[in-house]
A = this chain, B = another copy of it.
Amino acid sequence: MASSVRIAIDSMGGDHGLRATLPAALQILTKHQQLELVLVGDEARIRENLAGTNHDRLSIKHSSQILTMGDKPSAILRQKTDSSMRVAIDLLAAKEVDAVVSAGNTGALMTAGCFVLNTLPGIERPAICKAMPVTEGCGYVLDLGANVDSSASQLHRFAQMASARCRVLHQVDQPRVALLNIGAEAIKGNEQVKLAAELIAADEHLNYIGFIEANALFDGGFDVLVCDGFVGNVALKACEGTAKHIASLIKQELGRNWRSKLWAGFALPVLTRIFKKLDPKQYNGASFLGLKGVVVKGHGNSNVEGFACAIEQALFEVEGNMLAAIEQQLALSIN
């Protein structure tokens, strides 16, 4: 029998709060028998929403405050120390749980991660890593917004961390590492990217395959794609924005005339399936790599299915001993 894994859920976080987090928690408990969940948040409201549902692998940890999207990230260290997000992180720091999952304020989660859990040796600030729905490969992209003006050595660290994650979670022996650039030739790009290419290519423990441009992002062919957080965040959001825009153009066309209305009936299920694949709420959570603890961030607008995915992702990271693998990989070049 697999040994149990305990995960703390920031029940109050995200746009939908308890309405998304509780059903997701119950759903994922049923799926994974080795999982125990600690719901952190307002106990009375949690009990009310559970409506008498009892589960022997579910417990509640009361917290009196809620950290909102409008709060400054630093609030989690000062005014909101009894918020559900902070209490969840405290449980992880005290090793009472193995991981934390939250759909709340990203900046606050990052701040609590850095100052309460601390970062791994060699890491200044963790990177946000997410799998894109690529045609082939693991499709991890990082950093997606935690770091701006990343130095070449930070980009190298990102490559190491995501490679380690890919190896233990997907059994890929030599994950293919690429750098996001504005051309495929070596002369293209900015100084950080060119220098990072040298560092990563010279690292014998990484399998560097070269530059990839943003228009080839969905084609895949890489397991890890490394970029500065500013650039990664822009790329991710440009993809989201384009998908949303196309969906709305199609919707407009569907109401245009009788012919369009006729095919709307056929088209909608197909289009729904396609856009679901591209919807950031659906495809997994974002892992904060580089912290001394497993922290997964669900999309702020996570629905039940999306948040359940994020919990599952944290479970796999714990069971795959991701943290140990990342530490080992980083240690290979820290000396």
Binding site for B on A (CB under 8 A): 145, 148-149, 180, 182, 189-191, 213-219, 227, 229-231, 233-246, 249-250, 253, 256, 259-260, 262-263, 266-267, 270-271, 273-274, 277-278
Contact = CB atoms under 8 A, between A and B. Distances in A.
8 contacts: A145-B182, A214-B240, A215-B240, A218-B244, A231-B234, A235-B238, A246-B246, A249-B277
Nearest to A180: B234
Q: Within the oligomer, what is the number of copies of this chain? A: 2
B266 A259 contact: yes
Contacts of A246: 242-243, 246, 274, 278
Contacts of A245: 218-219, 278
The dominant DSSP class at the A interface is helix
Contacts of A215: 237-238, 240-241, 244
A136 to B, nearest CB: 13
Nearest to A260: B270
A145 B191 CA distance: 14
Contacts of A270: 250, 253, 256, 260, 263
Contacts of A216: 241
Given A214-B235, A267-B267, 19 more contacts: A148-B182, A148-B189, A149-B191, A214-B238, A214-B240, A215-B238, A216-B241, A217-B241, A217-B242, A227-B234, A239-B239, A242-B242, A245-B278, A246-B246, A250-B270, A259-B266, A262-B266, A263-B263, A266-B266
A192 B67 CA distance: 30
A243 to B, nearest CB: 6
B148 A190 contact: yes
Nearest to A241: B215
